[in-house]
């Protein structure tokens, strides 16, 4: 029961539609044409001190591959309960993924950072491929990935 309450508290802190000031944020991730199978992507947030604050989205549905998203795995101790109900399909080479979430306004300009880990079967993993501060100034500004992600933007 404690873990359920803790998970609910973290989820509520990150997504507060109807409870506190929150708004829709769209994350758009465009993959490079890396020539392999679909990538698994983990989207998660850390606070100003680098402490894990919560998971936002997981692209890829087979839990046996989540260990390859090593930044996310380290942050969550591999707890798949962190992503219950927030998963989607893996993202193919050269394709884009757009997801829209309700995020608390308090996450912006408060030191929080969005992390995206990526992994592709039989290829090298890319923990923390994208790390971007959640700021009003960062809206719409593309950030390049280091391995599989061509670019990432967010819009409010």
Residue range 78-103, pLDDT digits in tens: 999 999 989 999 999 999 999 999 99
> At residue 5, does pLDDT exceed 90?
no
Which domain covers residue 11, as residue numbers? Answer: 2-155
Q: Where are the beta strands (DSSP E) in 12-94?
A: 22-31, 39-46, 52-59, 87-88
- Print burial letters for 126-144: b (CB count within 10 Å at least 16), e (below 16): bbebbeeebbeebeeeebe
> At residue 45, does pLDDT exceed 60?
yes
Domain holding 55: CATH number?
Answer: 2.60.40
Contact 106, 123 (CB under 8 A): no
Q: Is 101 helix (H, G, I), strand (E, B) or coil?
A: strand
If one counts the domains in the chain, the total is: 1
pLDDT band at 21 (very low <50, low <70, confident <90, very high): confident
């Amino acid at each position: 029961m404690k873990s359920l309450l803790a998970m609910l508290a973290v989820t509520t802190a990150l997504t507060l539609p109807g409870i506190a000031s929150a708004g829709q944020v769209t994350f758009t991730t465009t993959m490079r044409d890396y020539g392999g199978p679909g990538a698994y992507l983990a989207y998660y947030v850390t606070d100003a001190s680098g402490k894990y604050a919560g998971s936002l989205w997981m692209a890829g549905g087979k839990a046996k591959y989540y260990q390859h998203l090593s930044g996310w795995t380290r942050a969550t101790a591999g707890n798949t309960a962190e992503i219950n109900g927030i998963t989607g399909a893996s993202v193919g080479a050269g394709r884009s993924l757009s997801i829209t979430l309700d995020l608390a306004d308090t996450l912006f300009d408060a030191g929080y950072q969005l992390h995206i880990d990526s992994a592709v079967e039989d290829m090298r993993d890319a923990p923390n491929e994208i790390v971007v501060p959640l700021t009003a100034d960062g809206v719409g500004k593309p950030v390049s990935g280091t391995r599989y992600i061509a670019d990432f933007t967010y819009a409010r």
